[in-house]
Structure 1
Amino acid sequence: MPQWADYSTGERIKILRGREVRQSDLAEMTGLSIVTIQKAEQDKALTLPTLLAIAKGLSVDTSVILGQQAPRRAQAQGDRMMIRDLSRAVHDTAAGILPADVEVMSLDELQAVTDRCWELYWRGRYIEAGSVVAPFITAAAARLHDQPDGEQAPAWGALSDAYRIAGYVANLMGARDLAYSAIGHAQNAAERSADDMRVALVGSGRSWVYLRDARLPEALALAEKSAADIEPRFSRATPEQMTAYGSHVNFAAVVASRMGDKERAADFLSQSHAAGARMGREVRAHGTLFGPVSATTQAVGINVALGQTGKALALIDSIHDVSALTEAARNRYAMDKAMAQADARMWDASLDTLETALRAAPSWARHQTLPGVIVQKVGRASTARLRRVSELIGVSPGTQGFLPATAKTAL
C-alpha cells in the first residue's frame, strides 16, 4: 500500500480536499482561481504563495502537502477547521484577546453550555463538542473580564471547565500541543477558582495527555495524586464526590496497566470496584459518569492491557447490560471486548463485536486507533467479514499502514 510520501503533491492536495470540498470550494476558500487549483492538483504548477494559500485553506501544515509529514487518519476538512478555531480560542483568550462583539453570558448560561459540551463529548460527537467549546471559551473569558474584583472565582471555574473540555477534544484528536496548552490554562483557571475538586479534575486531565504522549511514569504519579487529593470518606461522601473519586482511581488503574504494573493496577481496580459498589448505580457529575457498570467495563480494558485475557473474558461474561453507560463508554467497552476476543483467538467473534460497534457509531469510530490494531491482530477470520470491517475503518487486512479516510475515493 502506498505511503503518504509516495503520492505526488497534486495527489496529496486532492486527497486532503476529499469529496466534501470541490475544486471550486477550495478556490473560494483560498482566493485562488479554479484553474490554479486544477494545475496544482495536476502537478503542473505550484508556487510558494499558492502552496501557502492551499495549506491555510485546508487547515494543514505545508509539510503535509509536501509529503514530509503524514496527516492523521480520518482528519477531514471539518476536523481540521474545528481544531484551528479551537486553537485560536484557547490562545487568544489566554493572551487576553477578545472579539469586540463577544456576548457576555451569565454563570447559569455558561453552566448550561458546559453540560452541553460534556453531553456531546460523551456521545462521541467530538467535532461538534469542539465546535461548541471554541465560542464557549471566549464567552467564559468575557464573563471573567466583566466580573467585579473579588467576585471572579465562579467565572474562573467556568473558564477552567471550558479549557479542560478543549484539552480533552484536542488530545483525542491528536493535537497534542493544543492539548498541553489548553490543560495548562485549565489548571491556572482552576487554581484561581479556589475549587479543589476542579484542580484535581484538571490534574487527571493532564495525566491523560501524558498517557497519550507516552509519558507513563509522570501520568501515573499525577493520576494517583489527583485521586488521593479528592478521596472522600465513603460513609459521608455524596454521589457526586464518589463519581469523581471513582473515575480518578479507574484512570489510575488504566495508566498502571499501560506500564505493566499488575499489582498497582489491581490495587486501583479494587478501590474502583469498592466505589462503584458503594454507589450502586451510575452517576453523572463533573463531566464524567461512574458507577458499578463503569468500574466493571473499564476493568475489561485494563486486564486486556495487562495480558490477562482470561480475567477480561470472565468479566465480559458477567456484564449483561451496558445501557446505563454513555455512548462513548459503550463503544470503548465494545473495542476492549473485541480485543479480548482477538487475544483469545476468537477471530470471528472479535470481528462481529467490532463490526457491530463500527456500524453503530461510525463518527466515533473514525477517531479511534484500536479498530485498526484489532484488524491487524485478527489474521485467521472469515475473509469476507475481515474485508467488511477493514473497509469500515479504511485499512487493508494484513498491512500495517493505511490511507487517510478520503484517499480511496479521491484518487
Structure 2
Amino acid sequence: MSEETHIGARLREIRKRRGLSQRDLATASGVSVSLIRKLEQGDLHDTRMETAHQLAVALRVPTSSLLERDDEDIADGAPEQWRPLQQAVQIATVHTGEAPTVQGVHALLPEVRAAYFDNRLAELTGLLSPLLRDADALGDTTDARHVRSHLLHIAGSMLTQVHQYSAAETALSRALDDAPDRLRAAGIITTWSWLLVRQGKLTASRELATRWADDIEPRISRATPEELAAWGWLLVQVSSASLRDNRRGEADDTMRLARSVAVLMERELPRGTERLATWGPTTVRYKAAERHVILDQPDRVLRAAKGPGGLAVSTEYHRHRLDVAKAHTMMRQYGEAISVLSEVNVNAPEWLASQRYARDIMSDVVTKRRTLTPEMRTLADAVGLPM
C-alpha cells in the first residue's frame, strides 16, 4: 500500500471532525495509539488494508475515503446540542455493562417516535444517542437490523432538520443497509432525497428518487396503502427536486401523478408504527402549495391554506405553515405572517428554532418594518435572527 501515503492527513482530518482524541479512536477501532500517532505524524507512509478498514469502521466512513487522494467534503463539527447524536451515528463504540436486547430497545421506540413527532428535539437527542449505541450492540439478526434501521432513519431525518448533513448521510446510509425490505428502504430514500435537496444537490436528489420510484411502482389495482404511500412520497420528491432544478415539465408531471396516488387513498394515511410521514390528499395539497412559493404565486398558497387539514392530520403541517407565512410576506401582509409564525412557535418551538426558512421570513419582516412589535421581537429571538 505504498501509494496511500496521504492516509495520515486524511485520518487526522476526519478524526478531528468527529471530535475524537487519538486514544478515543484507538479504543473504538482496536488499532494502537502508537500506530495512529505514527500515521498522523507521517512517520509511517503505509499500512495494511485491514488496519485502514478498522479505522474507517470506527469513524463510520468508507475505507476508500482514507485512501483516495481526492478530498471529500467533511462537514463542520456539530454544535454542542447535536454532538451526542452525531457521535452515536458516526463513531463506533465499545459497549460495556449489561448486554442490550432487541426487546428492550424496541420497547423504547414509542417514546422515541413521540418525541420525534412532537418536535421535542432536545429530548429526542437524549433518547436516541444511547439507544443507537445499544442498537449497535444487538448484532446482525433480522430483528436487530430492523429496529436499528428504524432508529437510524429517525436520526437521519432529525439531523437533516438541524443541518448536520454529513451525520445525516451516515445515518441514512446505515439505515438503508439494515432496511428489512424495499418498502422500508423507499421511505429512507425519500428522506435521503430531501437531504440532497437541502444540500443543493438537486440532480442527485431527482435521479435518486426517480430511480426508486420507477423500481417500486406498484400495480395500482393490487397496491396496498403502504405501497401507495411509499411510491407517492418518492414522486413528491422527484417533483420537488425537479422544480427547484428548473425542470418544470417533469415537476408538473410527477406532482399530477402524486395527486392521483393520494386520491386513491380517499383519506389521509396516518404515520403508523414505522412510517415517518402521513400520506394522502392533505399532505399532497401542502406539498403542492410549496410549489407556488417557488413559482412566486403566493395567492395560491393562501388559497390552499383554507382547505381542511391541520396538525393532527399531516406531518407536513408546520412546514406548510411556514409556506403560508412566506406567502403573506410576499404579499406584504406582515402582521398575518407574524401571526402564523407565532402559532408555529407555540406548537413547535424547538423545530421552529432550527428552521433557516423561518429566519429568512423574519428577516423579510424586520427589513420592511420601521418598528417592531413586542411579538415580532420575541419571534426574532425565537428563530435566532442575528441582531
Settle same-fold status: TM greater than 0.5: yes
Which of 213, 218, 224 aligns to 1:238? It is: 224
Looking at structure 1, the residues matched to 161 and 379 of structure 2 have their Cα atoms a distance apart, in angstroms, of 20
Determine the structure 2 residue equivalent to 1:49.
none
Distance in 2 between residues matched to 1:381 and 1:280, nearest whole Å: 44
* CA offsets 1:102-125 (integer angstroms, 9 cap, x no match): 542235x54443444333222212
Cα distance change, pair 308–124 in 1 and its aligned pair in 2 (3 A): same
Aligned to 2:167: 178
Check the 8 A contact 1:372/1:395 in 2, yes or no.
no
Q: Pairwise mapping of residues 12-411 of structure 1 onto structure 2 (< 5 A)?
A: 80-81=80-81, 83-93=82-92, 97-107=93-103, 109-144=104-139, 152-190=141-179, 193=180, 195-283=181-269, 284-285=271-272, 286-317=275-306, 319-326=307-314, 329-378=316-365, 379-380=367-368, 383-385=371-373, 388-394=375-381, 402=386
Deviations 1:323-342 (A, max 9, x none): 4335x632211111111122
Letter aligned with residue 363 of structure 2? Q
Contact 1:216/1:255 (8 A) holds in 2: yes
Report the CA distance shift for 1:264/1:344 in structure 2 as closer, same or farther (over 3 A).
farther
Whichever residue aligns with residue 343 of structure 1, its letter is M
Q: Deviations over 1:277-302 (max 9, x none)?
A: 11122221422211111111121112
- 1:137 is matched by which residue type in structure 2? L
Q: For the structure 1 residues 260 and 189, does the alpha-carbon distance in structure 2 shift closer, same or farther, using more than 3 Å as the test?
A: same
Once the two structures are superposed, residues 174-193 of structure 1 have per-residue CA deviations (whole angstroms, 9 ceiling, x without a partner) of 22221122222222223xx4
Structure 1 gaps of 5+ residues are 1-70, 146-151, 404-411
For normalisation by structure 2, the TM-score amounts to 0.71
Aligned CA RMSD, in angstroms, stands at 2.8
Q: 8 Å contact 1:348–1:381 — kept in the other structure?
A: no
* 290 and 341 in structure 1: CA distance in 2 versus 1, 3 angstrom threshold: same
On the 8 A contact 1:273/1:295 being kept in 2, the answer is yes
Paired residues of 2:349 and 2:382 also in contact (CA < 8 A): no
Higher relative contact order (CA 8 A, sep 6+): 1
CA distance in 2, matches of 1:156, 1:309: 45
- Inter-partner Cα distance in structure 1 for 2:246 and 2:364: 20
Letter in 1 for 2:300: K
For 2:251 and 2:377, the matched residues in 1 are separated by: 33
Which stretch of the first structure deviates more once superposed, 123-132 or 209-218? Answer: 123-132
Deviation at 1:380, TM superposition (A): 4.4
CA distance in 2, matches of 1:113, 1:275: 33
Distance in 1 between residues matched to 2:382 and 2:144, nearest whole Å: 46
* Mapped partners of 1:131, 1:263: distance in 2: 44
Contact 1:89 1:135 in 2 (8 A): yes
Contact in 2 for aligned 1:296/1:315 (Cα 8 Å): yes
Matched residue, 2:8 = none
Q: What residue is the counterpart of 1:47 in the other structure?
A: none
In structure 1, the residue corresponding to 2:278 is in which secondary structure? strand
Contact between 2:239 and 2:250, CA under 8 Å: does it hold in 1?
yes
TM-score by length of 1: 0.67
Verify the 8 A CA contact 1:338 1:374 in the aligned structure 2. Answer: yes
Q: Can you list the C-alpha shifts for 1:177-227, whole angstroms capped at 9, x where unaligned?
A: 21122222222223xx4x112322222222222112111111111122232
**C-alpha separation in 2, matches of 1:264 and 1:336:** 22
CA contact (8 A) 1:258 1:305 kept: yes
Mapped contact 2:172–2:192 kept (Cα < 8 A): yes
User: How big is the shift at 1:401?
Assistant: 6.5
Q: Deviations over 1:363-405 (max 9, x none)?
A: 22111112221123235458444x5224323289xxx9715xx
Distance 2:177 2:285 in 1: 34
Q: Confirm or deny: 8 A CA contact 2:258 2:284 kept in the other structure.
A: yes
Query: Against the structure 1 CA distance between its residues 304 and 213, is the aligned structure 2 distance closer, same or farther, given a 3 Å change threshold?
Result: same
TM-superposition CA deviations, 1:235-260 (whole Å, max 9, x none): 22222222222222223222223223
**Amino acid of the residue matched to residue 139 of structure 1?**
D
Change (3 A) 1:221 1:240: same
Q: Is 1:167–1:182's contact at 8 Å kept on the other side of the alignment?
A: yes
1:243/1:288 contact within 8 Å kept? no
Contact 2:282/2:308 (8 A) holds in 1: no
Unaligned runs of 5+ in 2: 1-75
Cα pair distance change 1:91/1:354, threshold 3 Å: closer
